Structure 1
Amino acid sequence: MFRRKIMARVAVFLAAILVLAQPALAAGIPFTVEIDGDSTPGPTIITQKNTVSVRVYDPEGADHTVKVGSILAVKTGPGEYEVENYALKAGTNSLTVSADTYKNTYTLIYVDEALPGASYYLQAIPASGKITAINKTLTLKFPKNNYIAENPDDPRIVEDQGLRIEVVSFDYDECPTVYHQAVSPVYKITPESDDLDGDGERDKAAVLYPGELTLKYDANVSSAAADTLTVIYIPYGDGDYDEYDNDFQHFWDDYWPDRGCVVLGGRVDTAARTVTVPFSKTGFGTYAVFNVNREFCDLLDANNNLSWARNYVLPVWAKGVMEKTGSGEDFGNTPITREEFTAAIVKAMGIPVENDLQNPFEDVNSSSLAVDEYDDYILTAAKNGIIYGFPTTSGLEFRPGDYLTREQAATIIARVAGLKVSDNEAVTAAAMKRAFYDYSQNPDDFGPWAAPFIYAAYKAGFIQGSPVEVEGKTLYAFNPKGNLSRTEAAKLLYVLMKKQKRL
């Protein structure tokens, strides 16, 4: 008897579930309801999108008042009605479609997880400028009242301000190099419409004001890997990098060369497990966080032990600040040129690279540079007071191919770091004598313009000098006219980025 009662109760319970699982009874005209392209939606729909589009059709083509939830549907044709991008909250949603005496209710479950197929739609950039999406794994921060424009060269605000953020599948055959491992989902950020001006062609698309993008990475990644985490970006468009005037042109020729891979580096927060990078005006495209794991053969000693330079070289290479110039698996430890160091400084500081600037230098042009793109970096650095040239009888030279001297490097570092530089020659001379043995012996070997900058960089912990033994004591020599090697440059850049909180 007890068992029969239990079984009866179970039967009633299951019947109730079946009733609840069905759409509410539809009365009146047999409308066709289509949800996100599915013309035969079941009572419960699971989606990875934060919005759905609902279309309602009357096979007889009659006029009706159609609502989706509380939203009045737009008539798109005879007997056809639509609500685009009906917003869902994470979890379970109840969606009721009604038309005259017809009424059906559906259960929509929005799975808000950072998995391939996830899609987050916004009708416009919020007035606050802040967007948090895909289960809080992605954050965009813009200045207030930002808008999508047709393109960066003609920044007219477009009618369709829709923005979509998606998680897309990643093909490891397309990984930047074998040394890179993706440690975050791959996100695609695009305007909802790719034809913003209605001419039938895909537009570049831009935002009026640049901002910042923050991505979460895998919680299992060790905090010790912070220096080698980097964000890599593929610009939105047809894959032709040169077509897009991206402000952060950190790229390697052997990385996704046909797709315009851009290495953004990024500021790592190990507590929050995030990497933050600039989002330029033309920042639409695909982003992911990678961890870099490689070694360079020329940073090993005779016993295959890693040299002191390894912990500086790998981060600046991983962040896209310096490229390798050596053959094979060598980083290349030749003296660094003035043009390469200037480009690296601009990259390290995340300074937006400007195009078509006034050129004060007689010798800065594509034919005089090792890398064509260096001209924009040099002129950007000159505009920002980071570098200066050498006077000639006819103007100024930059001497891009000359090796950078140690005193020139210290001067550039002091300028870009905003260090306080003394204008008291006597105080500077006394301090330099205490700091550097070679200054105490031959102060004329140091450029008088350079000494205050050298001491400022020394005092701030950027430089130290090389140890020399003098009468049983270890002193330090600066060697101002010596050439700065690429590994020494990597250390300077690493220390700069660390102090400026850009790692």
Structure 2
Amino acid sequence: MKTLSKYIYYKCYRMGAMTVTSKKIILIPALLIFFFCSAITPALALDIYWKPANDENATYSQRPYANTNRVDIQVNVKKAKTVEVNNEEAIQIGSTDSELWLFRDYLLKPGENTIKVKVEKRSSSKKDKDSDTETDDLTITVMETPASGSFRYFESPGSKLTAFDKSIGLKLPKDTAVIDSQGRAAFDQSVSIQINTPPTNLAPYYLPLSPLYSIHSASSAYYLSNAGELTLKYDTSTGNADTDMITVLYAPPNYQTSLLQLKMMQKINSYNHTADSVTVPFNKFGFGHYLVARVISDFNDFSLNKTGGLDLSWARPYVMALWTKGVMNPLEKYPDGSYVPDNYFGLTDKSGKKELPVTRIEFISMLGRGLRLPFSASVAQTHIFSDMQDLGVSDVQYLEAALKEGWIPNSLTINEKLYFHPNDPLTREDACAFMARAAGFSLVSQDQATQTLKAYYPSDYNSADNWNRPHLLACIQNGLITTTNKGYLEPNKQITRAEAAQMIYSLMQKNGYL
């Protein structure tokens, strides 16, 4: 104490600003400050650091902002007996003399988070058996901006997962669980969502309107017990309100985002379009990468009349809308086996003067996608029909799902086998049977349908099967098929791909699926 008083006295004296009276005035407050500070144990500034838990290459720091909600907390402190992070014990790394303590996988909430650290230290005095307790805290603010590299971790799927200021929302039925490859509830139920920069190779077909959202489970072999819906917001600054040209591209989870190519992505059926968001089905195997984009390319089919071909400009709104929404796809090959060029949709043959018919399997698949027919995506199908061997997995799944839903009328057995004839052209009569059942139209009796059709189409109403006449009448009354020759129903006329697009579009519009 004397030494401190002398020191203060000496410094003031050397400054030439001290009289005998001022010496007393300065010395008294100095003594009071010394006694006050002596009565308080000085708080130790603990070394608290953090890093993103999902990035093994990241380094620990004290950055005030984070783009992830799952972090590892590191505390560096000497002679600690225990370390608690927000009342939960951290783990000492190394020997009992280690100064490094870790708390892994701490979950933060959106916005500001205070990380409170409490350290119980071993006493430095042999006589004093009590430990000293020291505290400190660190503030981390989780940014909600959907910026590239942002990461959100959820311990379980729950009924709704939202992230990045609600720019993405996954809605699931209650009690939805993550399932492992053995069909059991997975030990790790976590789901993560990460934002990445969209691929740069989408031109000249698409313009990205959102980041690339990657949704993953803990293992690539996991899937969900129930299907749900995924809603994505997108950039509206393009100034184009034509939501028919907004699509959602999807790629499986095993593709690396940095290596993603356009050929790895496929359009999926999108609906509930608003000015800034779009919804797509999220099936049980729906983990992967999602991107909202605007279609900016066109097909030469709609300008064939300029070179002496058919005028199919009327079909453009229907075909482009269905293609954009993943309901209808360009034809891969012409009937002669040659490939359709990339800038053609395949609505006509190579001459451009003859329309191509839609096949039975293509129409059923379009109908299933357009009306959101649910099916359980699986590797194995039951193959109810005996002529499904050459069909793609998706087509088989929609065909079997449509059959189970009653969209497809009963078929006659041939040698105790059922045949669908998937690659045959679709007739107006068959199309009406599929659409009326899929849409759930109210049907009149066969006699009533026969009387009405006979009155308006006396020339060929009787060429339609009696059982199918209620379906034909329902589709006519709902504007799904039209007639051009007065008095002729033309039930056996083949439907073109362009006409099929118009029918499916009208049915989707009637059911509010556009």
Output the TM-score relative to the length of structure 2.
0.76
Q: Find out whether 1:48 has 2:63 as its counterpart.
A: no
- 8 A Cα contact 2:114 2:137, kept in partner: yes
Structure 2 distance, partners of 1:238, 1:309, is: 35
- 8 A Cα contact 2:205 2:296, kept in partner: yes
Q: Taking structure 1 as reference, are residues 420 and 74 closer, same or farther at Cα in structure 2, changes over 3 Å only?
A: farther
1:182 aligns with one of 191, 195, 208: 208
SS at 1:497 equivalent: helix
Q: Find out whether 1:307 has 2:288 as its counterpart.
A: no
State the match for 1:280 in structure 2.
Answer: 283
Structure 2 distance, partners of 1:26, 1:108, is: 25
2:323 aligns with one of 317, 322, 328: 317
- 8 A Cα contact 1:75 1:82, kept in partner: yes
Q: Find out whether 1:262 has 2:266 as its counterpart.
A: yes
Structure 2 distance, partners of 1:229, 1:402, is: 32
How far the C-alpha of 1:373 sits from its partner, in A, is 4.9
How far the C-alpha of 1:64 sits from its partner, in A, is 2.3
State the match for 2:490 in structure 1.
Answer: 479
SS at 2:458 equivalent: helix
Q: Taking structure 1 as reference, are residues 265 and 372 closer, same or farther at Cα in structure 2, changes over 3 Å only?
A: closer
Aligned length: 429
How far the C-alpha of 1:385 sits from its partner, in A, is 1.8
Provide Cα deviations, 1:180-220, integer angstroms capped at 9, x if missing partner: 111112111112x33xxxxxxxx411111111111111133
1:445 aligns with one of 441, 463, 466: 463
Provide Cα deviations, 1:412-456, integer angstroms capped at 9, x if missing partner: 11111111111241x21232245x4xx222222222222110111
State the match for 1:430 in structure 2.
Answer: 451
- 8 A Cα contact 1:268 1:276, kept in partner: yes
- 8 A Cα contact 1:187 1:286, kept in partner: yes
1:108 aligns with one of 136, 140, 161: 140
In structure 1, stretches of 5+ residues that fail to align are: 1-24, 195-202, 240-254, 469-474
SS at 2:363 equivalent: helix
Q: Taking structure 1 as reference, are residues 215 and 372 closer, same or farther at Cα in structure 2, changes over 3 Å only?
A: closer
1:170 aligns with one of 195, 198, 201: 198
In structure 2, stretches of 5+ residues that fail to align are: 1-40, 53-57, 121-132, 332-339, 348-355
Q: Which stretch shifts more, 481-490 or 319-328?
A: 319-328
Q: Taking structure 1 as reference, are residues 39 and 166 closer, same or farther at Cα in structure 2, changes over 3 Å only?
A: closer
Structure 1 distance, partners of 2:230, 2:204, is: 26
SS at 1:156 equivalent: coil
How far the C-alpha of 1:377 sits from its partner, in A, is 3.0
* Counterpart mapping for 1:147-158 below 5 A: 147-151=177-181, 154-158=182-186
Structure 2 distance, partners of 1:26, 1:180, is: 62
Q: Find out whether 1:138 has 2:159 as its counterpart.
A: no
Structure 1 distance, partners of 2:168, 2:487, is: 48
Q: Which has the larger radius of gyration?
A: 2
Letter in 2 for 1:374: D
Q: Find out whether 1:364 has 2:388 as its counterpart.
A: yes
Q: Find out whether 1:34 has 2:60 as its counterpart.
A: no
Provide Cα deviations, 1:345-389, integer angstroms capped at 9, x if missing partner: 2222222444434333232222xx4x5653333223222222243
State the match for 1:395 in structure 2.
Answer: 417
RMSD (Å), alpha carbons: 2.8
State the match for 2:346 in structure 1.
Answer: 332
Q: Taking structure 1 as reference, are residues 159 and 393 closer, same or farther at Cα in structure 2, changes over 3 Å only?
A: closer
How far the C-alpha of 1:222 sits from its partner, in A, is 5.1
- Bigger fraction of residues in strand: 1
Structure 2 distance, partners of 1:115, 1:476, is: 62
How far the C-alpha of 1:408 sits from its partner, in A, is 0.8
- 8 A Cα contact 1:130 1:139, kept in partner: yes
State the match for 2:397 in structure 1.
Answer: 376
1:413 aligns with one of 435, 456, 472: 435
Letter in 1 for 2:268: L
Structure 2 distance, partners of 1:221, 1:423, is: 52
State the match for 2:118 in structure 1.
Answer: 98
How far the C-alpha of 1:76 sits from its partner, in A, is 5.3
Provide Cα deviations, 1:244-294, integer angstroms capped at 9, x if missing partner: xxxxxxxxxxx844x3x23212113325x2111111111111111111122
1:349 aligns with one of 341, 365, 371: 371
Q: Taking structure 1 as reference, are residues 424 and 341 closer, same or farther at Cα in structure 2, changes over 3 Å only?
A: closer
Letter in 1 for 2:385: F
Provide Cα deviations, 1:152-196, integer angstroms capped at 9, x if missing partner: xx22122222221111122212x3x621111112111112x33xx
Q: Taking structure 1 as reference, are residues 459 and 399 closer, same or farther at Cα in structure 2, changes over 3 Å only?
A: same
Q: Find out whether 1:465 has 2:483 as its counterpart.
A: yes
Structure 1 distance, partners of 2:175, 2:87, is: 28
Letter in 2 for 1:492: M
State the identity as a percent.
Answer: 29
Letter in 2 for 1:93: N
Structure 1 distance, partners of 2:191, 2:315, is: 44
Q: Taking structure 1 as reference, are residues 233 and 26 closer, same or farther at Cα in structure 2, changes over 3 Å only?
A: farther
Letter in 1 for 2:314: W
Letter in 2 for 1:350: R
Structure 2 distance, partners of 1:329, 1:148, is: 41
Structure 1 distance, partners of 2:300, 2:83, is: 70
Q: Taking structure 1 as reference, are residues 311 and 40 closer, same or farther at Cα in structure 2, changes over 3 Å only?
A: closer
SS at 2:284 equivalent: coil
Output the TM-score relative to the length of structure 1.
0.78
